[in-house]
Amino acid sequence: MIVISSNLSAFPIQLEQRTFKYREEIPLRANVLWRIETGAVRTLTWNKEGTFITTGFWGVGDVVGQPLSSIKPYRIECLAKVEASILPSDRWYQAFDAVSHIRQAEEFLSIVQSQQVRDRLLQLLVWLSQKFGCETERGRLIELRLTHQDLAEVIHTTRVTVTRLINELEREQAIARHQRHLILLDS
């Protein structure tokens, strides 16, 4: 998670803000970072075979952009309606904590490197619930609209396997469905 410095609000500058739709790409610019004001995005790339590889999930207060990555190709995809502010390069030092960005990337990498597919899925759901969840009477609701295919891409498996594992976790009462979202149930 990227922490926005409280010093940024002390500067009376008006940052350019844009609104993006679900699944829309945020444009990449070599000298611009985007601060997420509302919503959530994922950063991703793809290999020579065209397989998508999610490199991170980012939410309110996080900063994303081409200058933070050496990966090519690189894409920022909206997972909800997103409002984002452009942070020009002369404001980067005031806008985010690079150490936090690295820590979040490492957490994410440790999840996708787990040996068992079921463990990867469960660890991912726990991580998503901590980052993008809200408390309900039953547990933590993950407030992202992720398809089974999205989850499969993240944990390097098939959509069919994710569907089977979600059904198993639901039968075991580890998770529940609420509309198009998942709830990690309290034990």
CB 126: neighbour CB atoms within 10 A?
15
Residues 132, 184 contacting (CB under 8 angstroms): no
Residues 6+ apart with CB under 8 A from 128: 57, 142, 144, 146
Beta-sheet pairing, 175-178 with 82-88: unpaired
What pLDDT score does 31 carry?
82
Give per-residue pLDDT as tens, 130-172: 999 999 999 999 999 899 999 999 999 999 999 999 999 999 9
Whether the per-residue pLDDT at 8 is higher than 60: the answer is no
pLDDT at 94: 57
| Dihedral angle over CA of 108, 142, 153, 1, nearest 10 | -30
Q: What is the pLDDT of residue 99?
A: 61
Average pLDDT over residues 60-81: 91
Mean pLDDT of 8-19: 65
- pLDDT (average), residues 78-84: 96
Per-residue pLDDT tens digits for 173-185: 999 998 889 999 9
